[in-house]
Amino acid sequence: MKMSELSERSGVSAASIKAYQREELLPDPERSSPNQARYDGNHIDRLRLVRALIDVGGLSVAAVRNVLAAAEADIPLDWSMGAAQRAIPGSIDLPELPSRGVTKVDQITKDLGWMVSHDNSGRGMAARVVDSYLELDHGEFLSGLPEYSRAAAIVADTDLATVALQPSRARMSETVVVGTVLGDVLFAGLRRTAQEDAARRLYSGYQS
Amino acid sequence: MKMSELSERSGVSAASIKAYQREELLPDPERSSPNQARYDGNHIDRLRLVRALIDVGGLSVAAVRNVLAAAEADIPLDWSMGAAQRAIPGSIDLPELPSRGVTKVDQITKDLGWMVSHDNSGRGMAARVVDSYLELDHGEFLSGLPEYSRAAAIVADTDLATVALQPSRARMSETVVVGTVLGDVLFAGLRRTAQEDAARRLYSGYQS
């Protein structure tokens, strides 16, 4: 199909498609002549993936490029997951080491028997939040860390089970990216619905 | 203290402090004369809170203003939590109703016996992700929704227990804001550490 049809079928403007091509987010089209590019279903699928990561996952175009490149690199799948995680931009500043947050997070993951690399991007994210709780004089949040970790293990096991279902390495990589980026938003959404229910039970005298 | 000392003690530049004043993020200083503003410890605490929401929580200045105004409004606490949630910008487009994602999320929360308002911001977030999974031909993620919901309930109960610990209504409001914004980042971080451990167990032949 031509660019006009690709735009119509994917719902993405031709200008955006061209921008994604410049960022190398799309496979090259077939060219029967220099001015005649032909696109296929793979381009539609890829555009849907890119748009979901931007519109729903909140990533920038540059972040999408980095995360897809990392996930698709020809490396073992557990490395691929770490590379994809690191490519998702922490919009946050990581803690300067050593910090109390890092010590606390390392202690908790150690107590749970988790093997976590020093450069795991989540270790820095969690540690930075713990440091903030302490700086803001909200150390009482730390008593919730074991329950947060228990919930994180449930979600992570669910995530990996979904990856294991996939029929090919390429599909596994895509699942890692989609599940990591959109899964954060899914969980944040479900957390807010659960919070409303929990708040009503605690504060309104209703019982659900 | 003067502006220069406030800047030094809070680690926030005078230019940023003035910008936050224009956005009404800080209480007014005492003025002994039109050119002599005096700040106190409340200003330092507030600056730390604003910086944590921006630097760690990833909020914009405008979002910080909205979320603090919402949480501090003189309304029942469970409303306050909802208002704070809605003020946190979904960087995501909510689904057009009706959507399969909304139906799916409503079914799951109903099965769990949760009471969730139609305008709960998390309902739209979760539904939008489910719609994306379906559009991307990754419907297999939906089989993980019950486990995600179970984990979300653990986190929400932990969140509400932390709010209930607070000694005053003002402190409860602050806890709602801090816990909602930074809690998303904390959970995302712990999820990534748990994923690394789960991936290693599944794919590397190591046992932790």
pLDDT value of position A94: 66
User: Across A22-31, A48-57, A160-169, B148-157, which has the greatest mean pLDDT?
Assistant: B148-157
- Residue B34: helix, strand or coil by DSSP? coil
Report whether pLDDT(B87) > 80.
no
> Is residue A187 assigned to a domain?
yes
> Is residue A13 assigned to a domain?
no
**Short-list B56, B190, B7, B97, CA closest to A114:** B190
- Residue B36: helix, strand or coil by DSSP? strand
Confidence label for A208 from pLDDT (cuts 50, 70 and 90)? very low
pLDDT value of position A149: 98
Confidence label for A206 from pLDDT (cuts 50, 70 and 90)? very low
pLDDT value of position B90: 59
Give the closest-approach CA distance of B27 to chain A in angstroms: 17
Mutation site, B110, B128, B142, B191, interface A, largest A CB count within 10 A: B191
What is d(CA B40, CA B37) in angstroms, rounded to the nearest whole number?
A: 10
Report whether pLDDT(A77) > 50.
yes
Give the closest-approach CA distance of A37 to chain B in angstroms: 24
- Residue B2: helix, strand or coil by DSSP? coil
* Range from A148-152, B88-92, B144-148, B192-196 carrying the lowest mean pLDDT: B88-92
> Is residue A6 assigned to a domain?
no
pLDDT digits (tens, 9 = 90+) for A158-188: 999 999 889 888 888 889 899 999 999 999 9
* Range from A15-24, A148-157, A194-203 carrying the lowest mean pLDDT: A194-203
Chain B residues 106-145 with a CB less than 8 Å from chain A: 109, 113-117, 120-130, 132-133, 135-138, 140-141, 143-144
The larger pLDDT score, comparing residue A32 to residue B101, is at B101
pLDDT value of position B189: 94
Report whether pLDDT(B208) > 50.
no
Mean pLDDT value across residues B130-142: 95
What is d(CA A94, CA A121) in angstroms, rounded to the nearest whole number?
A: 9
> Is residue A196 assigned to a domain?
yes
Report whether pLDDT(B158) > 80.
yes
Q: Note the helical H segments in A88-168.
A: 100-111, 121-135, 145-164
pLDDT value of position B207: 43
Residue among B48, B109, B179 whose CB faces A135 most closely = B48
Residue among B81, B116, B192 whose CB faces A120 most closely = B192
pLDDT value of position A46: 94
ipTM of the complex, rounded to two decimals? 0.90
Q: Does B151 touch chain A (CB under 8 A)?
A: yes
| Contact by Cβ (8 Å): A199, B78 | yes
**B77–A126 C-beta distance less than 8 A:** no
Report whether pLDDT(B205) > 70.
no
Percent of chain B with pLDDT over 90: 60
> Is residue A172 assigned to a domain?
yes
Q: Is the dihedral of CA B118, B124, B127, B131 positive or negative?
A: positive
List the structure tokens of A59: 């990533």
- How many structural domains comprise chain B? 1
pLDDT value of position A112: 95
> Is residue B10 assigned to a domain?
no
pLDDT value of position A81: 76
> Is residue A31 assigned to a domain?
no
pLDDT value of position A204: 66
pLDDT digits (tens, 9 = 90+) for B35-74: 889 999 999 999 999 999 998 988 889 889 988 888 877 7
**A160–B92 C-beta distance less than 8 A:** no
Confidence label for A4 from pLDDT (cuts 50, 70 and 90)? very high
pLDDT value of position A17: 95
Give the closest-approach CA distance of B101 to chain A in angstroms: 11
pLDDT value of position A40: 94
Contacts of A155 (CB under 8 A, 6+ apart): A183, A187, B147, B148, B151, B191, B194
Confidence label for B22 from pLDDT (cuts 50, 70 and 90)? very high
Mutation site, B91, B187, B204, B208, interface A, largest A CB count within 10 A: B187
pLDDT value of position B9: 93
**A105–B193 C-beta distance less than 8 A:** yes
**A81–B196 C-beta distance less than 8 A:** yes
pLDDT digits (tens, 9 = 90+) for A88-125: 765 455 677 779 999 999 999 999 999 998 888 899 99
Report whether pLDDT(B179) > 90.
yes
**B186–A148 C-beta distance less than 8 A:** yes
> Is residue A144 assigned to a domain?
yes
pLDDT value of position B38: 94
Q: How many CB atoms lie within 10 A of CB B164?
A: 13
Report whether pLDDT(B206) > 50.
no
Give the closest-approach CA distance of A106 to chain B in angstroms: 10
Domain around B93:
56-203
Q: How far is CA B82 from CA B50, B61, B113, in A?
A: 20, 20, 19
Residue among B116, B130, B206 whose CB faces A196 most closely = B116
